[in-house]
Structure 1
Amino acid sequence: MAECHMFLLELIILCSIFTGTNGIEETNVFFSSGENVRLPCNNARSDCTSTTWNYNSHKETVELVNGGKLKNNIERHERLTMGSDCSLNIMKATKKEYGLYFCLQYLNGRLQETDEHVFLHFLHVSPSISQTEIKAGRSGTLSCQLHLYPGVSCDTLVRIEGYQLMWVNQAGVNLMTDSRYQILFFSNLCKISLATTLLNEDHNREWRCQLTQRNQLKTSASFTVKYSGQRCILGMSSVHFTQGTLLSGF
């Protein structure tokens, strides 16, 4: 019976994603590696005892919370907590955390019509050359990509909801107008690259990829160049804003 219930739940999820379902509230949350993430559950009751959290990675569905209690037989249970508002919190989130989370409410054992879908999307920056190849005078490219849950349209996020990727310097100045850098936007609009040639004065210089929505910062991922002797090392850090709170991970 448990397997049958989970199979039917997966069918409901797929139908609601691709056809739309009345009564479902959808929320987009963004993060980069190492961030503490909060997933809201706006339809929850006061004591959370009716709340169930499930996760879908587009391959399988996993129950994380049942009746307001965390499941202990899942791989990442030690990094999960529930807030007093029934939100699901993930500590030091990694790329494998991105996907669809859904907060369900059960009343007298029956699934209610209203639930919340939280799409957790992952922002990642990667260099085109290895650490041993990084040195002054060498050209390289940083690629910044927003990994979206399958079925979520990047075109919709950008053109309708006003999300935007951009490269900025340490002072937060957009690098689009700086002739030193070549910035390329990809056709899917959720990937942007920055190319440049490293200079001696780039020691401790940071380049940051920001995700904004109508000029409000959602999350960012950055790289900092550090020179050591004749070689330099590229380090990574990330900066995030969540409900007005500044979080950082190293």
Structure 2
Amino acid sequence: MSDECRVCLLGLIFLSSLLTGSNGVNETHVFISSGENVRLSCNNYLHDCTSTTWIYNNRFRHSTAVELIRLGIKKKDTESHERLSLGSDCSLNIRNISKEDYGSYICRQYLNDKQQGTDSRVYLHVLHVSSSQTEISAGLSVTLFCQLYSYTGVSCDDSVSSERIQLFWVNQAGVKLTRSDSRYQILSSSDHCIITLNTTLLNEDDNREWRCEVTQRDQVKTSVTYTVKSSAETEVSRIAGSLFRVIVIIVEFAVFAAPTVILLQIICARRAGRKDSQQPEEIEINTIIE
């Protein structure tokens, strides 16, 4: 074999390893925010999804891998089975993503109980935001926690990863919040891919939005928005909702009761009319007897 052919062959092998991974597995990374819906592609599916099996792996939650879909049929004994569905292209659809859904999802093909081809693996990374306070009002200090839940393959520490994964807090205008702003205290932990935002709420912060973004090589992958809703506003909304329900009940009662009241009035009026017509006859009879 000539040197040129060897170079071409090595180039093809190298390109194949980049596309499928060092172990022959087709790997992709998907970033999603909690509460959203996600579609995980199966890149090795056959023409019929009855050969497709989806396997979930997260050693931090389960000691062994969990079958979600087996030969095109959804397993009913899994925690998330109600939120799962299989697409026409054998993709795995998950509704209302939660932070517990992060992990490795493997699409595998079987024919006659024999695996066909290599695995198609999807790493799902979930961005989630939570608050330290349940009661929100002006003057209170609140801390927002933003964390990227990742199973493997992704790190926010540039010293151990070349993925350049970063987390940022931005304001409503899309401007990054920095530690130089005296109003905000921003702390981050690259080991756990978490960034916190601490601030004291002002009156004008009601309905204000802060957004946490995750970027990979300076490209935004997904984001989560936190909207400030004061507890006073929430209480007013609750009372208004209760009052509205009471009004609806009263109106419904009036609508159904009105015909009954009218009918009773008609009956009473007719009875009164009959009594009036009978009264003169009784007087006349009494007079004749006397």
Q: Which position in structure 2 is the counterpart of 1:57? A: 58
Query: How far did 1:101 drift?
Result: 1.1
Q: What is the one-letter code of the residue matched to 2:220?
A: L
Question: Does residue 1:22 correspond to 2:23, yes or no?
Answer: yes
Aligned to 1:217: 220
Report matched runs for 1:79-98 at 5 Å: 79-98=83-102
Determine helix, strand or coil for the equivalent of 2:100. helix
CA distance in 1 between partners of 2:161 and 2:197 (Å): 22
Amino acid of the structure 2 residue aligned with 1:117: R
Partner amino acid, structure 2, of 1:46: H
Residues in 2 aligned to 1:110 and 1:228: alpha-carbon distance in whole angstroms? 58
Instruction: Tell me the SS of whatever aligns to 1:78.
Output: helix
8 Å Cα contact 2:154-2:165 kept in structure 1: no
Separation in structure 1 between the aligned mates of residue 113 and residue 91 of structure 2, nearest angstrom: 21
- Equivalent residue, structure 1, for 2:137: 135
Aligned residues of 1:166 and 1:210 also touching (Cα < 8 A): yes
- Stretch deviating more after TM superposition (198-207 or 78-87): 78-87
- Match of residue 44 from structure 1: 45
Q: How far apart are residue 205 of structure 1 and its match?
A: 0.4
Deviant stretches of 4+, over 6 Å? 230-233
Aligned-pair CA distance for 1:41: 1.0
Question: In the TM superposition, what is the alpha-carbon distance from 1:144 to its structure 2 partner?
Answer: 0.9
TM-superposed CA distance for 1:38, in Å, is 1.0
1:180 to 167, 180, 183: 183
**3-state DSSP of counterpart to 2:82:** helix
* Structure 1 position 165, deviation (Å): 0.8
**Identity between Structure 1 and Structure 2 (%):** 58
The structure where helix makes up a greater share of residues is: 2
Secondary structure of 1:49's counterpart equals helix
Distance in 1 between the 2:229 and 2:207 partners?
A: 5
Q: Does 1:161 align with 2:163?
A: yes
1:168 Cα shift?
Answer: 0.7
Please give the secondary structure, in 2, of the residue aligned with 1:201. Answer: helix
Judge conservation of contact 1:161–1:213 (CA < 8 Å) in 2. yes
Contact 2:165 2:214 in 1 (8 A): yes
Partners of 1:30 and 1:158 in 2: CA distance: 20
- Take 2:30 and 2:120, find their aligned partners in 1: how far apart are those partners? 13
In the aligned structure 1, how far is the partner of 2:38 from the partner of 2:202?
36
2:207 pairs, out of 180, 204, 207, with: 204
Q: Distance in 1 between matches of 2:214 and 2:28?
A: 16
Higher strand share: 1
2:72 to 68, 71, 82: 68
Q: CA deviation at 1:231?
A: 8.9
- Deviation (angstroms), 1:209: 0.6
Q: So what's the TM-score if we normalise by structure 2?
A: 0.64
Report if aligned partners of 1:23, 1:113 keep a CA contact under 8 Å in 2: no
Residues 181-206 of structure 1 show CA distances to partners (whole Å, capped at 9, x for unaligned) of 22222141611111212111111101
Verify the 8 A CA contact 1:141 1:193 in the aligned structure 2. yes
The 1:89–1:51 alpha-carbon spacing in structure 2 relative to 1, beyond 3 Å, is: same
Q: Which runs of 5+ in 2 are unaligned?
A: 1-20, 237-290
Partner Cα distance (2:49, 2:94) in 1: 18
Greater relative contact order (CA < 8 Å, ≥ 6 in sequence): 1
Change (3 A) 1:146 1:95: same
Q: What is aligned with 1:10?
A: none
Whole-angstrom distance in 2 between the partners of 1:218 and 1:27: 13
Looking at CA atoms only, which structure, 1 or 2, has the larger radius of gyration? 2
- Secondary structure, aligned partner of 2:34: coil
- Give the distance between the partners of 1:40 and 1:162, measured in 2 at CA: 24
Instruction: Give CA-to-partner distance per residue, 1:139-162, whole Å, 9 cap, x none.
Output: 23212111221x444137984123
Aligned residue-pair number: 211
SS in structure 1 opposite 2:97? coil
Please, what TM-score do these two structures have when normalized by structure 1?
Answer: 0.74
